[in-house]
Chains A and B, each alone.
Chain A
Amino acid sequence: MYLDIRSFDTSEKASLDISRHLPRRVRIGPVAIIADRPIIFLSVLRKRWTKIIAEVQRQYASTLDARKKASLHAEVQLLEKMSFSLMRKDPHTGVAVADLTDLPLLQHYQTIYMYDDPDPETLKKIRDDHLSTHGLIVAYTRNPKLYIDNLL
């Protein structure tokens, strides 16, 4: 498994970061996000996603490089078809947002984003029961030690 730890002083910066990181992961396989307020998180993420699509479209329109244009076109298509949902509403969506009370999750994920720190035992269970082989955990945390000590 891989662990990517990212620390931010504001939740705004953290949500901007995830919106740039997530497009790189959605094409690989299902994504779960564990956040303490899933409904608010989902609504911020949807707004950021709309902005990212607009940015890719803007770049697509302004580039003359054929290779870049084709890649940006594929990127827009991928971003537009991505579905987001609360895990309790649709666990099999492309990006499912849950809180710690929604555990255990229903399937394996290629990428799990942690926006809320669980206790060590729960963290190990998330890795062992819900992360695909060679999967990635991305932790937005002020407590990196929790993840390093329990996952690596």
Chain B
Amino acid sequence: MAVYTALLHDQISVYCIICRAVQPVDHMTTGSLYADGSQAFACTSHIFDRELWISAWAIFETEQEIAKLCREL
């Protein structure tokens, strides 16, 4: 069985971009970035749901790209 940990300096709990839960960082997996360059996370359990994992991140990343373009307007 896999065991995951995600650690970083200054955050204890982080937000899941897939189910929107706020969870301790050791339950979370790193993903891509928010439009402002900060790190985005999702609950580690979602990585095993192939379909959800792929589509939720694809949608998130499109939204962040739009947000990034809007910031540059």
Q: Which residues of A contact B (CB under 8 A)?
A: 1-9, 13, 17, 20-21, 23-25, 27-28, 52, 55-56, 59, 63, 67-68, 70-72, 74-75, 134, 136, 138, 144, 148, 152
Please provide the 4 A-B residue pairs with the shortest distance between their CB atoms, ordered closest to farther.
Answer: A71-B58, A75-B58, A71-B62, A24-B31
Which B residues form the contact surface with A (CB < 8 A)?
A: 1-9, 29-33, 37, 39, 47, 50-51, 53-55, 57-59, 61-62
Which chain A residues lie closer than 8 Å to B4 at the CB level? 4-7
> Is A28 within 8 A of B32, CB to CB?
yes
Number of inter-chain CB pairs below 8 Å: 91
State which of B6, B32, B53, B62 has its C-beta within 8 Å of the C-beta of A25.
B32
Nearest residue, chain B, Cβ from A138: B30
Q: Among B5, B9, B58, B61, find the residue whose CB has the most chain A CB atoms closer than 10 A.
A: B58
8 Å CB contact of B58 from A3, A17, A74, A136: A74
Q: Separation in Å of the B3 CB from the closest CB of chain A?
A: 5
Contact of A2 among B30, B37, B50, B62 (CB under 8 A): B30
Q: Are B32 and A67 in contact (CB under 8 A)?
A: no
Chain A residues with CB below 8 A from B50, complex form: 20, 55
Q: A9-B1, A27-B61 are in contact. Are A4 and B29 (CB under 8 A)?
A: yes
Give every chain B residue within 8 A of A3 (Cβ-Cβ).
Answer: 6-8
B62 touches A8 (CB 8 A): no
Does B39 lie within 8 Å of A13, measured CB to CB?
A: no
Partner of B59, one of A5, A6, A20, A67: A67
What is the CA–CA distance of A52 and B57 in the complex, to the nearest angstrom? 14
What CA separation (Å) do A8 and B32 show in the bound complex? 22
